[in-house]
Chain A
Amino acid sequence: MAASGAATPAIEAIDLVRTYQTHTGVLRRRPMTVEAVRGISFEVKPGELFGLLGPNGAGKTTTIKMLITLLLPTSGAARVMGFDVVHDTTAVRQRIGYVFGGDRGLYDRVSGIDNLRYFAELYGVEPSEQRRRIAALLELVGLTGRENEKVEGYSRGMRQRLHIARGLLHDPEVIFMDEPSIGLDPVGARELRQTVRSLVDAGKTVLLTTHYMFEADALCDRIAVINAGRIVALGSGADLKDAIAERTIVEIETFGVTDEAVERLRRDDDVSAVNMEERDQSQILLVQSERGAHITQRLLSLLGDTRVGKVVAREPTLEDAYVHLIATTGHDEARAARAASVQ
């Protein structure tokens, strides 16, 4: 029921900051401040599917928790459907659904349908309509027929689907999903993506977090890449790809490459980024360059006497864009990254 659509953003984050006070050290405990979210701003339009993409510890969950009223921002502000997440908590909670990944957060000892019934009451779903609503949601998430079994016997995927059904009981306008595909098998993950898509097709606003590039790309209208508590890039999948479209990726398989050799590559003027993936026996070096494929010979000579296997030069993918963004935006390099970010 957003008044006149475009006027009010569904979600609005304005310079959100959140720090945690913890302790370090086992014997001599010293207080420590963790800056989990360090000034995040974005807007999500009604009906948009917005992705927060980032590695573990980037600040995704912290951001979501602030938006769904479970955590107070240390500074900054946020609104959901125009309601302030700090002060208008009831108004926000009425309008949002919250789905989190993982297998906790359900009443294991009772059936799936009892879990839904309880939350239907908490969300004030009209009693005469609960049965129909719950049946429709069970159908939507594919749990029809299993609803009377105790949740403790559910598989991980079934639990995840129950989380989703629960988050949708009251037909929320805005749905927050924190790593909803975590622990799902590939088939389950694909079904989940279809469900999320269908929600957006039905006019819902969805904000989801993920650390899978391809998932963000396949689903989201816009993606905010978040690293070390800051947004380092914001745009559509295509926008993000454009940022490094000029580049070539040279994939070099090596066996026992030394740190010094990798460092030599990094220091080369024509190399923009080097990333390494460990395999069982080998390492894959992903070298980004703006020089085209003919740089390959030089790279190989820089590697010296390193044993080299397969070498491929190719166009960059979104994954490369992501890797590049994350690699270049470690803690205090965030400023440099923002300069490189796309809007």
Chain B
Amino acid sequence: MTALTAPPTRIAPNTLRAAWRVFWYGGRMSYGMLFNWARPSIYIPTLIGGPTFQLFFFAALGSYATDRSPAYFAIGNAVQVSALAGVFGMTMAIANERWFGTLPALLATPANRVAVFAGRFMPFIVNGLLVSLYAFGLGVVFLGVRLAPGSIAVAALALLVTVFSCTAIGALQGAISLRLRDGLFGANLVTMAILLFCGVNIPLHELPGWMQVVGNILPFTHGVEAVRQAADGAGFRQVGWLIGVEALVGIAYAVLAFALFVLLERSARRHATLDVR
């Protein structure tokens, strides 16, 4: 046992430093560990090919069917493809624990659960931003998207907050499917709903009333509106409240997702429900 004669120093689990390590370094690792699409053979068709197709498809269809410019659709879909990455990525980041059977090992650790959970958001937010930036690039080059130079920072902030809130609904979806299986079905439903209800291609005020209600409680709606207005030159003063509402919607979903996760952990101890073996 020469190998193990020097036991390691350990950070007490209830300290801020331990939580930070789990959040920051642990969170980063969850991308490769849990994201089905992390490998190039899936990433490129799904998160580069798919968004490219989506952008051109809706720009062509939309400008043919309405009097809006291709740029209008390009902006909406460039933001929406980040949501796709965020929702699916985060659903996998939670639900795949079940697939790998790693939940018992994870739950047997003393790690701070908030830090574990929150850390998982990071790589998927970053990934969503990258996918979206790529799509914006396409829009600028091919579809006439123009951003007022003074508003780029505000548009970027709105985009970031939007990706966060979409990732949060992905987390909720992930937590649900820890119990109900088949998480990707739910993730599909959510991304389709965003496409339809949230002002990606059809402005919210042109939808029937009940659809507007749905759109307003889903993530994305306020964020994409903020990005659009910023692209037209609006500053933080005009769109700040939209960004704020989007952030609140995101936080609400994130809190709900975490609460469900904690609830599942508790009920698993009581009722042996998470296949914790």
Interface set of A (CB-CB < 8 Å, partner B): 20-21, 61, 65, 68-72, 89-90, 93-94, 96, 98, 100, 104-110, 114, 117-119, 121-127, 129-130, 132-133, 136-137, 139-140, 166, 168-171, 198-199, 201-202
What separation, in Å, do the CA atoms of A200 and B105 have in the docked complex?
22
Question: Residue A124 contacts which of B5, B12, B32, B34 (CB distance < 8 angstroms)?
Answer: B12
Interface set of B (CB-CB < 8 Å, partner A): 1, 3-14, 18, 21-22, 25-26, 29, 32-34, 38, 100-102, 104-111, 116, 268-272, 276-277
Closest beta carbon of chain B to A143's beta carbon, Å: 12
Q: Is the CB of A94 within 8 A of B102?
A: no
Residues on B with C-beta less than 8 A from A202 are: 1, 4-5
What separation, in Å, do the CA atoms of A96 and B110 have in the docked complex?
10
Q: Is the CB of A125 within 8 A of B8?
A: yes
What separation, in Å, do the CA atoms of A46 and B43 have in the docked complex?
51
What separation, in Å, do the CA atoms of A71 and B29 have in the docked complex?
28
Residues on B with C-beta less than 8 A from A129 are: 8-9
Q: Is the CB of B3 within 8 A of A70?
A: no
Q: Is the CB of A109 within 8 A of B33?
A: yes
Closest beta carbon of chain A to B174's beta carbon, Å: 16
What separation, in Å, do the CA atoms of A140 and B3 have in the docked complex?
7
Residue of B at shortest CB range from A21?
B271
Question: Residue A109 contacts which of B9, B22, B32, B272 (CB distance < 8 angstroms)?
Answer: B32
Q: Is the CB of B277 within 8 A of A114?
A: no
Q: Is the CB of B111 within 8 A of A122?
A: yes
Residues on B with C-beta less than 8 A from A121 are: 21-22, 25-26, 29, 111
Closest beta carbon of chain B to A288's beta carbon, Å: 35
Residue of B at shortest CB range from A20?
B272
Known interface pairs A94-B13, A106-B100, A136-B3; A171-B110 also in contact (CB < 8 Å):
no
Residues on A with C-beta less than 8 A from B268 are: 70
A70-B269, A114-B33 are known contacts; what are 12 more A-B pairs with Cβ within 8 Å?
A65-B277, A71-B269, A114-B32, A119-B105, A124-B12, A126-B8, A127-B21, A140-B3, A169-B8, A170-B10, A171-B4, A171-B7
Residue of B at shortest CB range from A150?
B32
What separation, in Å, do the CA atoms of A259 and B99 have in the docked complex?
45
What separation, in Å, do the CA atoms of A39 and B1 have in the docked complex?
37
What separation, in Å, do the CA atoms of A171 and B4 have in the docked complex?
8
Question: Residue B33 contacts which of A65, A94, A118, A169 (CB distance < 8 angstroms)?
Answer: A118
Closest beta carbon of chain A to B34's beta carbon, Å: 7
Known interface pairs A106-B102, A114-B29; A126-B4 also in contact (CB < 8 Å):
no
Question: Residue A100 contacts which of B8, B38, B269, B277 (CB distance < 8 angstroms)?
Answer: B277
What separation, in Å, do the CA atoms of A169 and B3 have in the docked complex?
12
What separation, in Å, do the CA atoms of A122 and B7 have in the docked complex?
17
Residues on B with C-beta less than 8 A from A123 are: 10, 109-111
Residues on B with C-beta less than 8 A from A169 are: 8
Residues on B with C-beta less than 8 A from A117 are: 29
Q: Is the CB of A136 within 8 A of B12?
A: no
Q: Is the CB of B10 within 8 A of A126?
A: yes
Q: Is the CB of B276 within 8 A of A139?
A: no
Question: Residue A125 contacts which of B4, B10, B104, B105 (CB distance < 8 angstroms)?
Answer: B10
